[in-house]
């Protein structure tokens, strides 16, 4: 592994000194050919070769080969490497960087998002152009990716600091509004504050309807989350007002939330209400954590009061 890492560093340095990608690739391929069996070193070298190819105008055949490597090596990483060892961290980081870059080229955005989130477990954000580009790509993927609803994974990640005080910081604001389920804030940002910036991003323009649907669904989830578990029966009229949608669309929104597994429960079309029994676990922001802590405190107080009442009724009872 030490030799493979040195070879990878030499290959990258060669490119920075105007060497050819073919020479760098050949260096790693020669070392790979000497591997007698599938080891962590093999996986590392295959990922490094994939990265070299992806960074230099890959052909259709190259992309097909890299996808095959991703599908083959992904399960092997979990089976053959010991988690949290230095060797495992190096190999995993290289693999997820390769797969992340592959899906950035090929798509879809949700696949890029999943691989990028894994890669961030091994990447230390800084103020380089690389961190800036990754933060932009991650924000766009989170906003447009199909089935990507746990936006707290991105909002709380240090990678977004790379966009602080930059022209692209509006993406962070848009993402935070969506993650918090704030429909008024999201609409203001889209229609009044940053319409030109949004129009300049083809990904947001092409997926505007999908992004709006995500905002609506997350607003519904946040509305449920804000209520105590015993008070999660919501009237259609309240939902329509909170989500700023016509009353006749509420039923569709609820059914959509059920279908994508954001929440579970039962709907009463006659009375115009929905009772929610479960919502998808997710990463919470600072304000949401504070609210949850407050509710835990209230719950603990109620339990203590009930305990004291029961003891007063029957002093012989023990805790």
Mean pLDDT score, 28-33: 92
pLDDT number for residue 267: 94
* 99 burial type by CB count under 10 A (0-12 exposed, 13-18 middle, 19+ buried): buried
Residue 241 clears pLDDT 70, i.e. is over it: yes
- Number of helices (H) and strands (E) in the chain: give both, helices first: 16, 3
Residue extents of the structural domains in the chain: 1-106, 214-313
Mean pLDDT of the chain: 88
C-alpha torsion sign, points 3, 8, 11, 12? negative
pLDDT number for residue 20: 85
Residue 319 clears pLDDT 60, i.e. is over it: no
With cut-offs at 50, 70 and 90, classify the pLDDT of residue 317: low
pLDDT number for residue 37: 78
Output the six-digit token pair for 211: 């992004």
| 82-86, 186-190, 192-196, 269-273: range with lowest mean pLDDT | 82-86
Mean pLDDT score, 280-293: 64
Neighbour tally for 193: CB within 10 Å: 15
Rounded distance, CA 190 to CA 165, Å? 20
Taking the chain, what is the end-to-end CA distance rounded to the nearest angstrom?
A: 58
With cut-offs at 50, 70 and 90, classify the pLDDT of residue 286: low
Neighbour tally for 127: CB within 10 Å: 11
Residue 309 clears pLDDT 70, i.e. is over it: no
| Percent of residues, the chain, with pLDDT higher than 90 | 65
Q: Which residue has the higher pLDDT, 108 or 288?
A: 108
Query: Which is nearest to 99 in space by CA: 84, 81, 77, 80?
Result: 77
Give the neighbor-by-neighbor strand order of the sheet with 233-235. 233-235, 273-279, 263-268
Residue 49 clears pLDDT 90, i.e. is over it: yes
pLDDT number for residue 295: 58
Neighbour tally for 216: CB within 10 Å: 21
Rounded distance, CA 39 to CA 168, Å? 41
Residue 301 clears pLDDT 70, i.e. is over it: no
Residue 31 clears pLDDT 60, i.e. is over it: yes
| 27-31, 230-234, 279-283: range with lowest mean pLDDT | 279-283
Rounded distance, CA 112 to CA 165, Å? 25
Place of tokens 């504070």: 290
Residues 56-109: pLDDT tens digits? Answer: 889 999 999 999 999 999 988 877 666 668 888 899 999 999 999 999 999 999
Question: What's the DSSP call for residue 145?
Answer: -
Q: Which residue has the higher pLDDT, 317 or 60?
A: 60
Residues 34-45: pLDDT tens digits? Answer: 887 778 899 999
Residue 294 clears pLDDT 70, i.e. is over it: no
Output the six-digit token pair for 205: 């323009």
pLDDT number for residue 240: 96
Query: Which is nearest to 14 in space by CA: 30, 31, 1, 27?
Result: 27
Question: Is the backbone of residue 147 left (phi > 0), alpha (psi -120 to 50) or beta?
Answer: left
Q: Which residue has the higher pLDDT, 88 or 251?
A: 251
Candidate CATH numbers 1.10.10.10, 3.40.50.300, 3.40.50.1100, 2.10.109.10; the one for domain 214-313: 1.10.10.10
| 54-68, 134-148, 184-198, 293-307: range with lowest mean pLDDT | 293-307
pLDDT number for residue 281: 80
Rounded distance, CA 34 to CA 43, Å? 13
Segment (H or E) for 279 = strand 273-279
């Amino acid at each position: 592994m030490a030799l493979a890492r040195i070879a990878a560093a030499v290959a990258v340095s060669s490119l920075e000194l105007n060497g050819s990608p073919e020479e760098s690739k050949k260096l790693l391929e020669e070392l790979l050919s000497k591997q007698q069996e599938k080891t962590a070193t093999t996986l590392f070298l295959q990922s490094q070769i994939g990265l070299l190819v992806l960074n230099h105008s890959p052909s259709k055949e190259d992309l097909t080969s890299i996808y095959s490597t991703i599908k083959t090596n992904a399960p092997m990483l979990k089976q053959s490497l010991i988690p949290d060892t230095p060797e495992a961290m190096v190999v995993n980081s290289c693999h997820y960087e390769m797969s992340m870059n592959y899906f950035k080229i090929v798509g879809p955005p949700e696949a890029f998002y999943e691989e990028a989130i894994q890669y961030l477990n091994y990447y230390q954000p800084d103020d380089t152009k690389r961190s800036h580009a990754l933060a932009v790509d991650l924000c766009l993927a989170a906003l447009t990716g199909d089935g990507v609803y746990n936006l707290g994974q991105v909002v709380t990640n240090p990678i977004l600091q790379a966009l602080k005080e930059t022209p692209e910081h509006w993406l962070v604001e848009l993402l935070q509004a969506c993650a918090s389920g704030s429909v008024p804030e999201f609409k203001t940002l889209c229609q009044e504050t940053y319409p030109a910036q949004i129009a300049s991003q083809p990904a947001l323009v092409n997926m505007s309807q999908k992004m709006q649907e995500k905002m609506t669904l997350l607003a519904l989830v946040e509305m449920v989350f804000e209520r105590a578990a015993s008070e999660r029966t919501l009237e259609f009229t309240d939902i329509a007002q909170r989500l700023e949608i016509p009353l006749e669309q509420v039923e569709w929104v609820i059914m959509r939330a059920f279908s994508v597994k954001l929440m579970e429960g039962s709907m009463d079309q006659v009375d115009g209400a929905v009772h929610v029994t479960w919502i998808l676990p997710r990463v919470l922001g600072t304000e949401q954590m504070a609210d949850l802590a407050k509710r835990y405190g209230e719950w603990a107080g109620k339990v203590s009061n009930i305990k004291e009442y029961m003891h007063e009724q029957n002093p012989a009872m023990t805790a």
